[in-house]
């Protein structure tokens, strides 16, 4: 599975550096010299990171394949991605990568199939699981232990104990 980790912005300077909108919560793992990033559209890459630096809260990246401002400008808007297999294992058994949860079946403690987890949403406060119900409707469920008591990656499911009314559309 491809994980989007950034989007290339405008060029910075004359030697091919670009600004990058960071779309990962672990940029220190995703933006290191030597790492190869896939691109969307695919014909714009892959791109190998030559150098990374931060300036005034912005991430500036130079790629081996980009040597001047004109080439950097041609990359504006390109989406950067990595393979999910490059994600290191998490130390805490109660933490999960978003991509590990997407695609899991959502099942109640009573055994009712609620649908499939399609996204993990991160608003301020508690995270939410987006679940596509049979028939196509989507419901957002707080991803808290009281409502989601178990995530079983090996079984491909997440167990829910929703309070009355939570799943009513």
Mean pLDDT computed over every residue of the chain: 86
Domain limits of the chain? 2-86, 100-160
Beta strands (DSSP E) in 13-46 are 17-22, 36-40
Q: In whole angstroms, how far apart are CA 7 and each of 39, 78, 127, 142, 152?
A: 9, 6, 23, 28, 32
Determine the pLDDT at residue 68: 93
Q: Would you state the pLDDT for residue 37? A: 92
Q: Do domains 2-86 and 100-160 have the same CATH topology?
A: no
pLDDT at 89: 62
Q: What percent of the chain has pLDDT over 70?
A: 91
Question: Is pTM, for the whole model, over 0.85?
Answer: no
Number of neighbours of residue 48 by Cβ within 10 angstroms: 14
In this prediction, residue 159 has a pLDDT band, given cuts at 50, 70 and 90, of very high
pLDDT tens digits, 30-73: 889 998 999 989 998 899 999 999 888 889 999 999 999 999 99
CATH number of 2-86: 2.40.30.60
The CATH H-level (homologous superfamily) assignment of domain 100-160 is PRC-barrel domain (2.30.30.240)
Mean pLDDT over 18-22 rounds to 91
């Amino acid at each position: 599975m491809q994980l989007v980790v950034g989007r290339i912005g405008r060029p910075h300077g004359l030697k091919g550096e670009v600004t990058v909108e960071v779309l990962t919560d672990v940029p220190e793992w995703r933006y290191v010299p030597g790492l190869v990033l896939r691109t969307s559209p695919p014909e714009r890459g892959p791109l190998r990171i030559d150098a990374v630096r931060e300036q005034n809260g912005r991430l500036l990246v130079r790629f081996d394949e980009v040597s001047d401002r004109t080439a950097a400008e041609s990359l504006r808007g390109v989406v950067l991605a990595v393979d999910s297999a490059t994600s290191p294992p998490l130390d805490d058994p109660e933490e999960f990568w978003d991509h590990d949860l997407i695609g899991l079946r959502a099942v109640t403690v009573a055994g009712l199939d609620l649908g499939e987890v399609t996204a993990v949403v991160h608003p301020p406060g508690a995270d939410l699981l987006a679940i596509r119900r049979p028939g196509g409707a989507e419901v957002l469920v707080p991803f808290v232990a009281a409502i989601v008591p178990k995530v079983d990656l090996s079984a491909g499911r997440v167990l829910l104990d929703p309070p009355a009314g939570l799943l009513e559309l």
